[in-house]
Amino acid sequence: MTASTPPRLPAKIDPLVRAFLADPGAAEAALSEFGSPAHLVFPQVFAENLARLRAVLNRGLPYRICYANKVNQSRAFVRTAEHAGIAIDVASAAELAGALEAGFDPARIEVTGPKGAAFLRDLLAVGARGDVWATHGRGATHGSGVAGDPDLRWPGATAATGASASHPGGVTINVDNIWELRRLAELAGEHAKVPVLVRLSGFAGTPVSRFGIPLRQVDEVFEVLAAHRDRIGFRGFAFHIDSGEPGERLRAVQACLELTERAYLEGFSPDVLDIGGGFRQVFTADADAFDAYVLALRESLLGRGEPMAWGGNTFGFHLDGGAVHGTPVFHKYANTVPADRMLADLLDAGLDAQGGRSFAQVAAENLLEVWLEPGKALVDHAGITLARVEFVKETADGSVLVNLDLSRDTVTPADQEVMVDPLLLPNPAHAHGDSGPIGVFLAGRLCLERDLITNHKVWFARRPRSGDVIAFPNTAAYHMDLSAARASMHPLPPKLAVRQRPGGFEVCRDEEFDPETLGRESVGPPRHGVR
């Protein structure tokens, strides 16, 4: 490795985002108006990601897409999802309130994750409101029509609300455990039937999860459902597998289909199979370059070549017998399979127990709605983080530190490492800086040794200078919000929404974004159905 050929981690960047970064002065203008650092979200990219998932699902298959709100707290994303007519997956009282405020009626809201008694009471109260909502004609369909055909819905469904005697409208509660299911039945009282999905876990060949009801407890699930048919409207089974291994999802699908058949035999009429989320992002623009960087990093951990790790960090690898072993903490950055292809592969997979017919074919033939809860897949490449360079210094060992006005937890969870190269946007007021590539570590603003934004060395085409801007690509999925803190009383960065206009770009505060400005053609079909 030489200074002229440093290893790089080129990031995949959406063309719209790249155009914004290339627009002279656009990033600088945003920071000048709203301050640095700042998170920027791109609702148009969100809409494009949604269109790709819809294209995969539009094959005569009943389906529902629920945007997993927890992935990003952006109001612009929530409003874009509502405007596009899809559903939303919330996991807290605050997310529930935000969804209602954005215009989601209860029939388009699913609630996942662990829930305490107080939250369950809130959900039942909103469910009661949902009955009123439907009565006044504001409910949206459950999206169980096939490619828009109103005749292909589960029996008894209404075009206005998607509700029936066996499957009521209102917020759908994705139950995490037996206690939650029993507590719901107790709290429901005289309420209308509560729409419920039962999340399962413990599938063959799948790691143990803290979420979901183990398959071994499914008999108890059926007992509770049977004892409370008047209060619980059982809609079907659900799972979530955060893995890139296709076989794990396929085994979960098969197990849920078998239990769905059992449910029919026991007098229930489930019409949903919820396959969750976990569809991965593609961060790298060059898989070979990524592999080459990791190889150089592994060599440096063994003391060969230029040092590339800060403070003895091994990134989850362990050294033994003169070799590097294990799986690094940044393994997700190696993925090259986009979410829409992961979804297509699952839908097209043949099921041995179904005579080799594909999952999509079995679901369509049985009018079984496939629900999914993409979060990362919808915000992939739809957000960046900008920060100014405060100063550049050298440490005692000769390393170059570029100190920024943000902290590590602003752009990544503490246990992860950002393994794509940030972009250097020189301050237009500066003359050209030093030429030639330079390897640096990016440091945060907290008075903590651990606040290194990159523990691995990154290379820029020239030495950064005070006042320059560093852009972190693809930070919308969890990176902006998951572990953000106000240490040292630093305020959280503002979140800004960016939209492209014929004459350039406009930036506004996230909460002020209006999805109507995107145009209907940008977000898909009209809002008359949930897709």
**Residue-wise pLDDT tens digits, 400-416:** 999 999 989 889 876 78
Task: Return the sign of the alpha-carbon dihedral for residues 302, 307, 312, 316.
Answer: negative
Assess whether the region 15-42+382-514 and the region 58-280+336-379 belong to the same CATH fold.
no
CA angle (18, 437, 417) in 5-degree steps: 65
Q: Please, are residues 306 and 399 in contact by the beta-carbon 8 Å criterion?
A: no
> Can you give the pLDDT at residue 151?
29
Tokens read off for 176: 């995490």
Cα–Cα distance measured from residue 261 to residue 242, given in angstroms and rounded to the nearest whole number: 26
Place of tokens 């200078």: 465
Q: Report the CATH fold assignment for 58-280+336-379.
A: TIM Barrel (3.20.20)
Please report, as a single letter, which amino acid is at residue 387. A
Q: What is the CATH number of domain 15-42+382-514?
A: 2.40.37.10
Region of residue 375 (phi > 0: left; psi between -120 and 50: alpha; otherwise: beta): alpha
> Can you give the pLDDT at residue 163?
43
Segment 247-281, tens digit of pLDDT: 999 999 999 999 999 999 999 999 999 999 999 99
Tokens read off for 336: 């090259």
Q: Which residues of the chain have pLDDT under 70?
A: 1-4, 128-169, 191, 414, 431-435, 519-531
Which phi and psi angles does 451 have, rounded to 5°? -80, 60
Residues in the chain: 531
Does an H or E element contain 118, and which? Answer: helix 117-135
- Residue 439: CB atoms within 10 Å: 18
Cα–Cα distance measured from residue 99 to residue 299, given in angstroms and rounded to the nearest whole number: 49
Domain boundaries, the chain: 15-42+382-514, 58-280+336-379, 287-332
- Residue 22: CB atoms within 10 Å: 11
Q: Please, are residues 69 and 78 in contact by the beta-carbon 8 Å criterion?
A: yes
> Can you give the pLDDT at residue 4?
55
Please give the span between the terminal C-alpha atoms of the chain, in angstroms, as a whole number.
51
